[in-house]
Structure 1
């Protein structure tokens, strides 16, 4: 490959964010440039440049080197970390890390999300940064999860510590220019196959059969009332398809407790028998290390030529003839000769690394005990102190014969005792006012607990009535409320539901109608936005003309932007707007356009060169017409609006009879900004003609004067 074919690295300033131009300079004298990436771990560059090179003095820490990574991602920027002199050569060794590593410098005081998708978590993390960043955050993982980190850098929150997004959502990190993504899975099925043979040059293979499993022991533990039911198989195991009777069993347990379809042994067996069809747990783990430098031009080299179209994360097939196994593996690491666009070496195997092994950030420092746990511990400590700090009381069995009750009192005499516990067939109670009560703490035989305060770690309840909860955080799978206000009619029942896959949903429904009249919903499973919608009470259909939807992704969606009760602005999907009389819209059977005036101190049209391109001065026939022709093609009319009951007389244009240079693309409206520009151009051309005529008149006047003088003489 000739020098003209090299992928020359480019050098950029430290504050560069776009990398769309040629930068400070091209580093064409580069001796060596290699990019090294490990799945979910480091992404680095090492460059060798002559000490006496033309741009050696420009290689400064913090600047970026944009270098070729692969044909999928093209050039990517790497921030210079160190510049060292090679002791054995007249070159500098420059080490740089991918642009997204700048997130190590962006700090977060607190990053807390609860039951959100990974995409939402990535967005929340970016918003939590103390200092902004130009790096984009993205994820395609829709699984809901929660995490909480404090006082960390942004890259640690992405994948560097326990509780990070990588640790919690279990994705795969992809890093490109100006973007860091957490993907379900990187790469595709490459369709490439490698057949391993012993003593192949340039290829080392590690075969791990230690964790191969040929059977699973499925089980499920289901809560039924206050007890747990254990479900397992009478035959104990589900075997892999290649298991042969008599083989040694190597099994693992698989928990199906969270599977709602598993309710008994039959359903457990049905679900578990499909385990091996979706898992490779019964296959050996093959890790291949391929060195293209060692391959040289050997016979095996031809076999690996198709590796040039395999990228990190891609899956390929591996056949091991000694084990007689066909399995799949993924490219998880590579070193690229960036100058030539060829692999130096790569590893095909299992994803093992993550950013935790490559960063110096400490482990996450979550609060081990949250506020609720602290409060519970206070109660436990208080109970322990009271029980262990007392020497007991006076135990009395009264009366000595049956039936009897047990008393524990502060004196040994019932008539003088004030604080006492009384335990008999009807229950257990405590009184601070003597034997006959009142009893303010107790447990009755029919299941009632009476107490001023109940401290509990977990409370399971069917119904909780007449309660006020304060000073605590509530966590609900589903929160539901239904309230019917008092009369007069018609009564509209207010129903609120949160969670359970519905997000937030508030409805107002008449007691006489089948469907609600209005609903407010915050959807967390789809369009991710807030909607206020009018509903047909008889059919349940949402009235598309009476909705307001607000989303950080889709913006504002509404057919009406109502002003002071009489005028609305309607906007269609392509952004065209019309003024609409509100009463005509509501009572007239739909959007019957009635144009009404708008009044403002000024209407401004964006006209900065920031918004325009291909800027050229207008020539007289730039559009095939002169401004004079455009004006002559367009007549001015008087008219009145059809919907104007006053028949006010106006002057203006008729779009169908105006020059196409003045009308919009659909031919239904006049582009006023365009019209002003043509009129201005016409005025300029008239001014030029006027000046030319003035010069001509002056010349004729001089000629006449000259002739008059000659005649006089």
Structure 2
């Protein structure tokens, strides 16, 4: 049932000041903001009302009348709201300034009641009559105005002082101007450094630098397509589609067990995030990757050094094609899918062509081999002091199979079907050449030296053969001896007979 609103003005004679009733003055007292019950017997309703005004005669020191009514909340009922301003402001919807104005209006308009003490040097507004028991206190004096929730002696958490200082948990304003804003923590929805087209905008966890009203730098974080927190710095765009066209992006994945990050230049945007045309990626595990859609150029004015503990590996379309590394014996190897190029001090600096695992030597196919044979490179040049023919005749040419061909033979034998001919060494290549008996002293022969000895032996053989033939059968002059020195017969000119027509 709705209760009617009513105000009552009660004129009375204060009996507490009379001699007859002075002993009963403490039985009942009514003060400002006290609630009393007014009975309307004819209407059958009771209305609770508060003391909202009074008239006092300071000469006679007695109250003349009081006004009571079911008015707005008193000061003592709402003063607690002052201590909750921070919570209310943080939860207010819409315009913060409008909400703050409405909140302040509500607090002030409902702040009736309390006890006012006026002194020559100060004014006190308290929640109790006694200064000693008062908790909520407003004090105004020559040095300023302040509010304390802990009594007259403070501390005053809200204050305006004569030296130009304002002390408050929150200051809400339409425009706040000043040369310096200084503090441990400044909280707000958005900070903008200038009203021009060039400014810095700070909003929540984002910082944006504007030039000509366009975002040139973005600093912040967001959740990527994998729902990971990604702190990001964007140069030349914002955290939207403007950052997807040639912006420099520095990012870090911070929610993963292994932290990683990178820097790149963007070329577009898809469902998984930004696409990089070129980027440098690195992880907490010590891995790094330089990636580019087109070309990577490394340029140095003096030298360029690459250091690696294991191997340099080369790939094409994710397929391994080569490696450069050092073997356990200290050899430098270029490893290819089916062969190895090795440089070893054990072979006196000779380049070796071996199988991919380095177990055996491999062959070479070439259109020509040219040996550097200039006199400029040689010294102590002299004729051969031994019989090249005799040495060549000492060579023992053998036929053999290479050990690295034997696995192929075994594989063919394993795959042979029943009834097929037996597979022998004829199924693998047969080679011809020298077999070195003293492998501890040397492990190969020089083809150029061997060919040179063979050439010298052939020359020696031809010379000896010609000399032997000269001894057995002197060379005869060419032609017919009978007709030598005979005058040759002259031919007659041919006759031409004219035919008759």
- Give TM-score, length-normalised by structure 1: 0.22
- Give TM-score, length-normalised by structure 2: 0.30
Larger radius of gyration: 2
Q: Which has the higher contact order (CA 8 A, sep 6+)?
A: 1
